[in-house]
Amino acid sequence: MRSLTPLLLLLALPACTVDPGVEYGSATLPLVDMHLHTGEWEDIPSATRRFLAERFPFPLGLDAEATAASVLTGEGVLAELDKAGAAEGVLFAVYAPRSVGITTNETVIEHIDADPGRLWGLASLRVDRWRTDRDAELAALDAALDHPRMIGVKLAHAHQHFRMDDVDYFGIYDVAQAHNAPVYLHTGPSPFPGTSQDAPYTDPAFLEAAITRYPGVSFILGHLGFDFIHGDEGALETCIRLAKEHDNVFLEPSAFGSSSGDPDQVHLPHALARIREEGLVDRVIYGSDGPQSPGFVNTYAERTIHAMTEAGYSADEARAVLSGNFARVFDVAPAVLP
Amino acid sequence: MRLLPPLLLLPSLLCGCASDTTTLFEVELRGVITYGAEVGPVEVQVHFEEAGEGELNHPLGEIDRFWTALDTPFVFAFDYPQDEGVGLIVYAWYDADDDGVLCAPGQVDEPAGLIVVPGFPLHDVDVDMDVGVRCQGPEDLLP
């Protein structure tokens, strides 16, 4: 099967890159993609590997391992960023052995080294043996955040199987606060096998106890609570309420606006319009949840630009969403066009 | 025991994986869940005790779930995928406010409990459980 790969990629992949920046009306804006994955195919549970392979565009699913390998390395991610005209990207560590698999902090740091001027990382930790491993896991998270390019924490209660309101895990936010590290949290039901779909693991309302207790920690609500099982907006209004009531809440509209999740381009324009109506544009941080498959990072940026245009975002508002809010929240230098 | 239909193997063949045949072991779970003298809906979940290999090994892993009533004998049959994990855990929680959510914010603190079934694999499993620990998912009640 592997020998098919070069031909399949030639058939399916546009090899071109675009100039840095994205066009928004008459403006060219820098783009930062704050939600990207890296890792190894074999570190994903077999049920999830099957799930992913079935969703690669034909014919890439015929050799899913090679397709994944082509986009999941640091170099592969950079190539996908180049196609999208993105200046910078953020790689996520993931520790979810029951659902989406493991990408260690060390792997993320290794891939960041592919271009430390363009790639950042969010660190994470295992929580599945919390009673026995808690202190060691918190220490490992603390150590990972000492790396100058590891600028935040990634959690996914639904994939990692711990309640959003469980105070036994709030030590994670203590570590984040000590490093001034924003915390990205998956919200909403997830399509991956092995996910906890129950409300305490998916509904951002259950995060409010932590959001209130840690006003110095930035909470980034990933996917805006979108319900990927039923294909509806899910907890969007809860996310908006939390952002209106808490200055430390931010919003990340990744994945649900993809061509498969939002084929008629309804959900993403609606979500971005609602956010703008509520005066929360300065809380939105762009992410794609790529690379997923070759070309996805670019396509998601295009669909987000379309959604912002539909929702009436000005060029300055689009600039904030696409890069400015990221720089402010993560306290890094703003991305600039060459 | 029986094998899954060949159609389910197609995706794994397409992605070049090794054989992914799953052997299913039939289990009949019987028992009663109690919380003092109260009556009301209770959700029961059955999990592996452990699943996954190597770095992907982890406790728990849901196999199935169902609703029954407190203080009412139940019988629940399910297929246990033998190649995906080991052991059997039964977890239950009492939905005291009947909202389908364990301890929603600002609502009733609802009780839960967990038992590791000794001697598994068994075709017939008897479980009698008193729930009593507030607002805990199965991950918090592991021994």
Minimum Cα–Cα distance from A67: chain B residue: B15
Does A165 contact B58 at a Cβ distance shorter than 8 Å?
A: no
**Number of domain units in chain A:** 1
The H-or-E segment that residue A166 falls in is none
Residue A14 domain-assigned? no
Does B139 contact A45 at a Cβ distance shorter than 8 Å?
A: no
- Judge whether residue A251 has pLDDT over 50: yes
Q: Please, what is the average pLDDT of chain A? A: 92
Does A53 contact B103 at a Cβ distance shorter than 8 Å?
A: no
Residue A128 domain-assigned? yes
For A138-165, write each residue's pLDDT tens digit: 999 999 999 999 999 999 999 999 999 9
For A86-112, write each residue's pLDDT tens digit: 999 999 999 999 999 999 999 999 999
How much is the average pLDDT of A245-272? 96
Minimum Cα–Cα distance from A4: chain B residue: B16
Residue A231 domain-assigned? yes
B112 in reach of chain A (CB within 8 A) = no
Q: How many CB atoms lie within 10 A of CB A312?
A: 12
What confidence score (pLDDT) does residue B4 get?
34
The rounded percent of chain A whose pLDDT value lies above 90 is 81
A162 in reach of chain B (CB within 8 A) = yes
Distance from CA of A230 to the nearest CA of B (A): 18
Backbone angles phi, psi at A122, to 5 degrees: -110, 130
For A112-128, write each residue's pLDDT tens digit: 988 889 999 999 999 99
- Judge whether residue A137 has pLDDT over 70: yes
For A191-215, write each residue's pLDDT tens digit: 999 999 999 999 999 999 999 999 9
Residue A82 domain-assigned? yes
Q: How many CB atoms lie within 10 A of CB B93?
A: 28
Per-residue pLDDT band at A3 (split at 50, 70, 90): very low
- Which residues 6+ apart lie within 8 Å of A250 measured at CB? A182, A218, A219, A220, A221, A243, A283, A284, A285, A325, A329
Measured CA to CA, the distance from residue A165 to residue A147 in angstroms comes to 29
Torsion sign (Cα): A235, A241, A243, A249: negative
Residue A337 domain-assigned? no
Does A97 contact B61 at a Cβ distance shorter than 8 Å?
A: no
Mode of pairing for the β-strands spanning B41-47 and B62-69: antiparallel
B81 in reach of chain A (CB within 8 A) = no
The rounded percent of chain A whose pLDDT value lies above 70 is 93
Residue A46 domain-assigned? no
Do the Cβ atoms of A102 and B58 come closer than 8 Å?
no
Burial A92-130 (b: 16+ CB within 10 A, else e): bbbbbbbbbbbbbbebbbebbebeeebbbbbbbbbbbeb
Measured CA to CA, the distance from residue A21 to residue A305 in angstroms comes to 12
ipTM: 0.87
Per-residue pLDDT band at A21 (split at 50, 70, 90): very high
Separation of CA A32 from chain center: 11
Does A199 contact B101 at a Cβ distance shorter than 8 Å?
A: yes
Which CATH number goes with the domain that contains A257?
Answer: 3.20.20.140
| Cα-based distances in Å from B22 to A49, A217, B25, B62 | 16, 45, 10, 16
Q: What is the pTM of this model?
A: 0.91
Per-residue pLDDT band at B12 (split at 50, 70, 90): very low
For A32-58, write each residue's pLDDT tens digit: 999 999 988 889 998 898 888 887 776
What confidence score (pLDDT) does residue A39 get?
87
What confidence score (pLDDT) does residue A105 get?
98
- Judge whether residue A10 has pLDDT over 50: no
**3 state SS of A148:** coil
Distance from CA of B61 to the nearest CA of A (A): 7
Does A53 contact B102 at a Cβ distance shorter than 8 Å?
A: no
Residue bearing tokens 């909470």: A219
Distance from CA of B54 to the nearest CA of A (A): 9
Residues of chain A with Cβ-Cβ distance to B137 below 8 Å are 161-163, 166, 196, 200-201
A57 in reach of chain B (CB within 8 A) = no
For A171-190, write each residue's pLDDT tens digit: 999 999 999 999 999 999 99
How much is the average pLDDT of A50-78? 78
Measured CA to CA, the distance from residue A123 to residue A182 in angstroms comes to 11
Residue A48 domain-assigned? no
Q: Which of A46, A168, A209 sits opposite B140 (nearest CB)?
A: A168
Residue bearing tokens 């570190």: A43
One-letter identity of residue A212: T
Residues of chain A with Cβ-Cβ distance to B57 below 8 Å are 97
Residues of chain A with Cβ-Cβ distance to B92 below 8 Å are none
Mind listing the domains of chain B with CATH numbers? 26-140 (2.60.40)
What confidence score (pLDDT) does residue B16 get?
40
Residue A199 domain-assigned? yes
Minimum Cα–Cα distance from B99: chain A residue: A199
Q: Which of A46, A98, A166 sits opposite B61 (nearest CB)?
A: A98
Q: Decide which of A65 and A280 is more confident.
A: A280
Do the Cβ atoms of A156 and A94 come closer than 8 Å?
yes
End-to-end CA distance of chain B: 30
Does B101 contact A200 at a Cβ distance shorter than 8 Å?
A: yes
How much is the average pLDDT of B47-55? 96
A73-77, B11-15, B79-83: which has the highest mean pLDDT? Answer: B79-83
Backbone angles phi, psi at B85, to 5 degrees: -175, 180
- Which residues 6+ apart lie within 8 Å of A87 measured at CB? A20, A21, A30, A31, A32, A81, A118, A323, A335, A336, A337
A200 in reach of chain B (CB within 8 A) = yes
Which of A128, A197, A245 to probe by mutation at the B interface, max B CB count within 10 Å?
A128
For B37-47, write each residue's pLDDT tens digit: 999 999 999 99
**3 state SS of A313:** coil
Torsion sign (Cα): A18, A23, A28, A31: negative
Class of residue A141 by CB neighbours under 10 A (exposed 0-12, middle 13-18, buried 19+): buried
- Judge whether residue B2 has pLDDT over 70: no
Q: Decide which of A2 and A297 is more confident.
A: A297
Residue bearing tokens 């794994």: B12
Torsion sign (Cα): A235, A241, A245, A248: positive
Which residue segment(s) compose the domain that A77 sits in?
Answer: 29-40+70-330
